[in-house]
Amino acid sequence: MTTIAVVDYDMGNLHSACKGLQTAGATTIVTDQANDLMQADGVVLPGVGAFDPAMHHLRSRDLVQPIREVAASGKPFLGICVGLQVLFEASEEGSEPGLGIFQGSIKRFLPEPGITIPHMGWNQLALHQPDLPIWQGLPPQAWVYFVHSYYAVPAQPEVVAATVTHGTQPVTAAVARDNLMAVQFHPEKSSAAGLQLLANFVEVVRQGQLVTSR
18 is annotated as an active-site residue: no
CA–CA distance, 170 with 195 (Å, rounded to integer): 24
Q: Residues 18, 81, 148, 203: which is the catalytic one? A: 81
Q: Residues 119, 166, 186, 203: which is the catalytic one? A: 186
Q: Residues 57, 119, 148, 188: which is the catalytic one? A: 188
The pairing of beta strand 180-183 with beta strand 77-80 = parallel
Catalogue the long-range contacts made by 165-171 (C-beta closer than 8 Å, 24 or more residues apart): 165/123, 165/124, 165/126, 166/109, 166/115, 166/119, 166/123, 167/109, 167/110, 167/112, 167/114, 167/115, 168/112, 170/126, 171/109
In the three-class reduction of DSSP (H, G, I as helix; E, B as strand; rest coil), residue 28 is classed as strand
CA–CA distance, 199 with 202 (Å, rounded to integer): 5
CA–CA distance, 173 with 84 (Å, rounded to integer): 9
158 is annotated as an active-site residue: no
The pairing of beta strand 3-7 with beta strand 42-45 = parallel
Residue 103 pairs with which residues in a beta bridge?
A: none
Active site residues: 81, 186, 188
